[in-house]
Structure 1
């Protein structure tokens, strides 16, 4: 399986491209700020054709390029139903520092809603680009945060954890839509129930494994 990571220009958000092999269809996950040109380079070099853009949640640092990327390839944006409202013009809700950071990279901040939005629910199976994914609703960072678990024949599953789980940390719960009680439940029921050998690709920072986080992450150690 091909897994390419592109780090966004603002906030270090990880955008991923997943495909079974070169010259195949692919999915794009969390296209953040300033990734469009580098994403196009990856797609051209790997000879890949996107069939969907998957969003782990609706925060603007993960969705900033969703509309141009979806539009360029004629594909839908896929997001949990509880976060779909976040794809409707987030600009009026941007705080001063966030807006300034975006404008430093993009110029004047403008937004256009994606033309086609597909919503998913907990435990839903998603198939596309030769990949089989399972959606795990894991609220806490936002109402509609999810994990995307990708089956890999002959290997451990791969989980795209968005801002639910990072290497050594977890997502914030103090932003609008955050909920520390829901986050604790998500960690207990959606993360700690995964096998240790599952590889984790987080929304920010380096990759890790469930086993490593279970043993070392201060937010998980001793969590019952």
Structure 2
């Protein structure tokens, strides 16, 4: 198993490539702002051929580069239907108009967009990727699990020591707590968590130290980040 990644753009959103091994097909997870050069470097270094882009949710810091990445490689993008509209209208994720968002930035859907469903298993690049719908940060947030390898791409559901913000349109604090609980309770402690921002962690470490998994949960989610 080969997993490599880097923090992309000013948001420092983690973009990952996943493959059975070097020199094989791969899947790209969350190509955010200015991700193309870093992705090109990783693909060249490990001699990888992308077959799909999978998106944990539709916020602009996770999907900024999805159309150029998919277009250049002629591959589909997978996203949950609840967040699909954010691909072409990212301002909806912030409750502003397009003209107010980053000087009127315009994004577009890739030519081939496919919709994720809860509990689906994607067979891509020789990998079996489990999809779980985990709303709360956005309505269409999902996680991607490599069950046999005990790896979870958590998007902005779960960070090391924290969780995703819930004060943007589509966010809801009680909902993200339910998604968090259902995710954590089914995974073993040794599961490696690769989040959308910040360092990797493990389910066991988060069970022991994350205040949002404690018995006395904070009364509200964090209001920072994207």
TM-score (norm 2): 0.89
- Gaps spanning 5+ residues in structure 2: where? 218-226
- Choose which of 149, 152, 157 in structure 1 pairs with 2:145: 149
Aligned to 1:112: 108
Query: Partner of 1:26: helix, strand, or coil?
Result: strand
**Structure 1 segment 203-222 matched on structure 2, within 5 A:** 203-222=196-215
The change in CA–CA distance for 1:121 and 1:176 in structure 2 (over 3 A counts) is: same
Aligned to 1:163: 156
Aligned to 2:222: none
The question of whether the paired residues in 1 share the 8 Å contact of 2:121 and 2:130 is answered with yes
Deviation at 1:223, TM superposition (A): 6.5
Structure 1 ranges of 4+ moved more than 4 A: 91-96
The question of whether the paired residues in 1 share the 8 Å contact of 2:92 and 2:169 is answered with no
Deviations 1:16-61 (A, max 9, x none): 0001111100000000001101101111111100000000000000
For residues 165 and 40 of structure 1, the distance between their equivalents in structure 2, rounded to whole angstroms, comes to 27
The change in CA–CA distance for 1:41 and 1:168 in structure 2 (over 3 A counts) is: same
Aligned to 2:33: 33
Aligned to 1:123: 119
Between 82-91 and 208-217, report the one with greater CA deviation. 82-91
- Gaps spanning 5+ residues in structure 1: where? none
Instruction: Report the RMSD for the aligned CA atoms in angstroms.
Output: 1.9
TM-score (norm 1): 0.90
For residues 169 and 134 of structure 1, the distance between their equivalents in structure 2, rounded to whole angstroms, comes to 23
Query: Partner of 1:134: helix, strand, or coil?
Result: strand
